Amino acid sequence: MTHQYLKNVATLAFIAEKCTGCGKCVEVCPHGVFEINEKKAQIITKDLCMECGACAINCPAKAIEVNAGAGCAAAIIWGWLTGKEPSCDCC
């Protein structure tokens, strides 16, 4: 069963001009958000993006940007309480 979270929230951005079509984003994405079509990557299911950041950090051409982080309520509350970036350090 495929899980679907909130739509139109992911901060994933792809700059097609920079893409070299190496396919590393397809290799690392745990939700199959990317596909390679005609030697270029393409976002096919943006709403499945969980903003883990694997694609951006592994893109040698720096063609992908995303505000990566942990999708965790406790982490976000921890961030609010401490005034720091949300992080998993609370648990």
Partner 1 sequence: MSQNSCCCTSSACCGTPAIQTVSTQLTLKDKLGGWKVRWGLARMDYTMEPGIYAAGEPNETSPVLVSANYKLTFDTLRKHLTGLHCWLLILDTKGVNVWCAAGKGTFGTDELVHRIQETGLADVVAHKKLILPQLGAPGVSAHEVTKRTGFSVTYGPVRADDIQAFISSGYKATKQMRTVRFTMWDRLVLTPMELVIAAKTSLMLFGVLFLINLFAARPFGLFDFVVYAAAVLTGAFVTPVLLPYIPGKAFALKGWLLGMIGTGLIAWAYGWFAPPSLLLGIGYMLSLPPCSAYLAMNFTGASTYTSPSGVLKEMKIALPLIVLSLVAGIILLLIKTFVG
- Residue 5 or 82 with smaller CB distance to partner 1: 5
Taking the complex as a whole, the smallest distance from the CB of residue 6 to partner 1 amounts, in Å, to 4
Taking the complex as a whole, the smallest distance from the CB of residue 68 to partner 1 amounts, in Å, to 7
Contacts 24+ apart (CB under 8 A), 18-25: 18/61, 18/62, 18/63, 19/61, 19/63, 20/60, 20/61, 20/63, 22/60, 22/61, 24/55, 24/58, 24/59, 24/60, 25/55, 25/58, 25/59, 25/64
Taking the complex as a whole, the smallest distance from the CB of residue 40 to partner 1 amounts, in Å, to 18
Q: Could you list the residues that contact partner 1 (CB under 8 A)?
A: 1-7, 9-11, 24, 26-32, 48-54, 57-58, 60, 67-77, 86-89, 91
